[in-house]
Amino acid sequence: MPPLHALPLSLILLMGACASAKKEVDSKMDPRDMFVEGTIDAVEDGAARSYSYRLLKPIDVDGDQRPLLVFLHGMGERGSDNVKQLEYLPTWMCSPEWRERFDTFVLAVQCPGDEIWVGSWEGAGTCRAMSAVEGAIEHLIESENIDPSRVYLTGLSMGGFGSWDLASRHPDWFAAVVPICGGGDPSFASRIADSGVPIWTVHGDADRVVPVDLTRTMVGAIRKADGRVGYTELPGVRHDSWKFAYGPEGLMEWMLAQQLPATPVKTPPADASGG
């Protein structure tokens, strides 16, 4: 069987769906007990604010350097409880199977209810909440046993917008980026293309919350700039394409197989598109 990164994503996702239609965490395991709490300060226009985050540490935290997976949550998980942002991928990463397979640090900063990950929905822009994410990444790389060549970025919905934004401003930070059902500023396409950062994005063509055209536009702009980006458009899928994208044998395997410096061999094929 060929390696996963060589398979069409549609086949990989089908494998994942067949292997596990529903990802569950052991009922005795509470993600809140597994993720340690932390705070990071960020400043905008002279005004400082403290942002809460959670960090899942790998099983073998004192062994070899481990990867860092940065997760950006959606609108519904904003708040100040430092819990809601553990929904979906962070919780799934707590399962014994996923802990064994993906022995990695997982960072989940919580965006407050009165902010979003980007300066505006119309285009990528700096904002204090994203500055907090940047600060948390830098702090953890300095203070934890993290391999800086294996830092990964992914997010869903509002977090998909944030992933495009952060990747456009710091493409050299990440070994791979997986934006899910989001959108970005196509004016940054050349910067992304020139960086060579491996990106694979997923969107459902029936999404009524975040129009699929936003992802199509980003993919088209990057390819027009001679960049390579993997894109899977899921027919009939609405605003929950992360359930497919984070399938057990899907993008997680591909993403965590990447390592800086990125090489063309590891970059997703330019024609990896379902739409």
Question: Mind listing the domains of the chain with CATH numbers?
Answer: 4-256 (3.40.50.1820)
DSSP 256: H
Q: Count CA within 13 A, CB hemisphere, residue 145.
A: 13
What digits encode the pLDDT tens for the residues 47-61? 899 999 999 999 988
pLDDT on residue 249 = 60
Peptide bond into 261 cis (omega under 30): yes
Residues in the chain, total: 275
Residue partners of 205: CB distance under 8 A and separation at least 6: 212, 233, 234, 235, 236, 237, 275
What digits encode the pLDDT tens for the residues 207-261? 999 999 999 999 999 999 999 999 999 999 999 999 999 986 679 999 999 999 8
Q: CA 150, 155, 160 angle in degrees (round to 5)? A: 125
Describe the strand order of the beta sheet including 176-180 as a list of residue ranges.
35-44, 47-56, 105-109, 66-72, 146-156, 176-180, 200-204, 230-234
What digits encode the pLDDT tens for the residues 82-101? 999 999 999 999 999 999 99
- pTM, two decimal places: 0.85
- In the predicted model, what is the mean pLDDT of the chain? 86
pLDDT on residue 250 = 73
